[in-house]
Copies of this chain bind each other. A is one copy, B any other.
Amino acid sequence: MADTLAVVGEKYALLVLREAFLGVRRFDAMVRNIGAPRDVLATRLRRLVEAGVLEKLPYSERPRRFEYRPTPAGWELQPVLLMLMKWGDRHLADRPPMVLEHSCGADLTPVVVCGHCGQQADQGTLTPHVQAPGWTRTGPAAD
């Protein structure tokens, strides 16, 4: 988790990915949609490319222009964004939510399930098997 956040946890990184997923893949368009300072966006894009999450490819020689597309590894981050979106819609809903249509025809309500049994994976259903080094669960704290 900490390692993942080292890649996508910096300010704007996940918003950049959102835009890339939605098809906004050019520098200036991202600046407009995200509202990030141009230099910050430039560094973010560099990092995401070197992390293998985005790919920078030219869509025009003369003048040389680039676009940024999610790699396969990048696409695998989409579920993270879906869950962030869902949470925001449930708990912060100011504007009407963006609707994504699933291939089944319904409007998407993303749910996290256990890949093994297909049942929802949430609070009550999970038990950590902890053996991380240096990790301490101090004090009594039954959930």
CA distance A77 to B84 in the complex (A): 8
Q: Does A83 contact B (CB under 8 A)?
A: yes
Report the minimal beta-carbon distance from A65 to chain B, rounded to whole angstroms.
10
Q: Name A110's contact: one of B11, B23, B33, B115 (CB within 8 Å).
A: B115
Question: What DSSP secondary structure best describes chain A's contact surface?
Answer: mixed
Q: Name A102's contact: one of B5, B29, B83, B121 (CB within 8 Å).
A: B121
A residues apposed to B, CB below 8 Å: 1-5, 7-9, 11, 14-15, 18, 22-26, 28-29, 32-33, 52, 59, 67, 69, 73, 75-85, 87-88, 90-92, 94-95, 98-104, 106-119, 121-130, 132, 134-139, 141, 143
